[in-house]
Every structure is written in C-alpha cells, then in structure tokens.
Amino acid sequence: MNIAAEGLARGLRVLLVDADPQGSARTWAAGARRGFPVPTVVAGDASMHTTLPTRAKGFDLVVVGHPRAGDVQRAAIIVANVTVIPCGPSGVDAWALATTSDVLAEARAVKPKLRAAVVITKQRPRTLVGRNAREVCEGAGYQVLRAELTDRVALHRGR
C-alpha cells in the first residue's frame, strides 16, 4: 500500500490489485480518509498472470498485494517486471524467503529480466534483530533496499 500511495502522490495512475485472501488492500482503500487519493482497486487471483496485462492498460503503476506462497504468489511474480518482497526481522520471515526464491527461479525461466529486491518491514531500529534481518536477506543473495519500514505503534492502533 505504501508503494501505491507514493505513486498517487507523484501523480501516477495507480492500479492496486488485491490478491490477498485477507483483502488488506481493499480494507486500506475503504478506510482512507476523505480528501486523500485512493487508487483503483481490483481483486486478483491465480489467473492474474493472464488477465492483468489487459486490466493494467491505462495505468502507470500496478501494485499487487498477495500472500507469501502458493499459486497466487506465483501468478503475481510471473506477471511482474519488478517484485518487492517484504521481509520482517523475525526468523520466520527470513525462512519464508526460501519459498519465494523458488518461485523467482521459476519466473525467471520465463522472464529472465525480472528484477527482485527485499524491503525490510516492521524494522526495530537500533536493535540486534533489526541489524540481523538485513544481513540474513543479503546472505541469501537478495538485493536489499536501503529504505526500511519501521514498526510503528500507531499502525497497530489503526491511526
């Protein structure tokens, strides 16, 4: 959602595809405060790698929110030019990257120019676990973006 919001702030026409069973993107868009721009939001599923190219016409940026594993993740990565993989600072988050690595390898067999990078999320600055998250991701061979999303209490409170 952060990427979609930034695209809107830069004046881009943004399509946000909510392929997450939790419906996080739709919930976020529905809860946006009045007066704030909201992207066009559509649902996505395991067939989006065939349907999304047509739906995306007329948009400058397409952002797909999807679950960490399975056919929906695979479809989202296959249709992407760039995939940004969120990874929290816990060991469980880092271990989930192994599944994503397999899907990326499959997608690159079809799309060799597919670019991928990790963004550290729920970061706790100045903590050992925070420093380790970056090291683990880089050690697994991922490009890790300099920008990180910190774990803000206000987000947990819904503010």
Query: Tell me: the pLDDT tens digits for 77-112?
Result: 888 888 888 888 877 787 778 788 888 998 999 899
Q: Are 111 and 159 found together in one domain? A: yes
Q: Are 125 and 151 found together in one domain? A: yes
Q: With 70 as the cut, is the pLDDT of residue 148 above it?
A: yes
Residue 73 falls inside a structural domain: no
**Would you state the torsion angle of the CA atoms of residues 143, 147, 153, 156, taken in this order, to the nearest 10 degrees?**
-60
What pLDDT, on the 0 to 100 scale, is given for residue 153? 57
Sign of the CA dihedral running 141, 149, 11, 28? positive
Task: Calculate mean pLDDT across residues 140-155.
Answer: 79
Question: What's the whole-model pTM score?
Answer: 0.76
What pLDDT, on the 0 to 100 scale, is given for residue 144? 92
Q: Are 49 and 107 found together in one domain? A: no
Q: Are 89 and 60 found together in one domain? A: no
Lowest mean pLDDT among 70-74, 76-80, 117-121, 148-152: 148-152
Q: Are 52 and 100 found together in one domain? A: no
Give the Cβ contact number of residue 155 at 10 Å: 11
CATH code at 156? 3.40.50.300
Give the range of the structural domain holding residue 7, as residue numbers without chain letter.
1-67
What pLDDT, on the 0 to 100 scale, is given for residue 26? 86
Q: Are 19 and 44 found together in one domain? A: yes
152 pLDDT tier (thresholds 50, 70, 90): low
What pLDDT, on the 0 to 100 scale, is given for residue 31? 77
- Average pLDDT value for the chain: 84
Residue 45 falls inside a structural domain: yes
Q: Are 63 and 85 found together in one domain? A: no
Q: Are 105 and 157 found together in one domain? A: yes
DSSP state of 81: S
The better pLDDT of the pair 147, 129 is held by 147
Q: Where are the strands (E) in 88-143, listed by range?
A: 115-123
Q: With 60 as the cut, is the pLDDT of residue 62 above it?
A: yes
Residue 7 falls inside a structural domain: yes
23 pLDDT tier (thresholds 50, 70, 90): confident
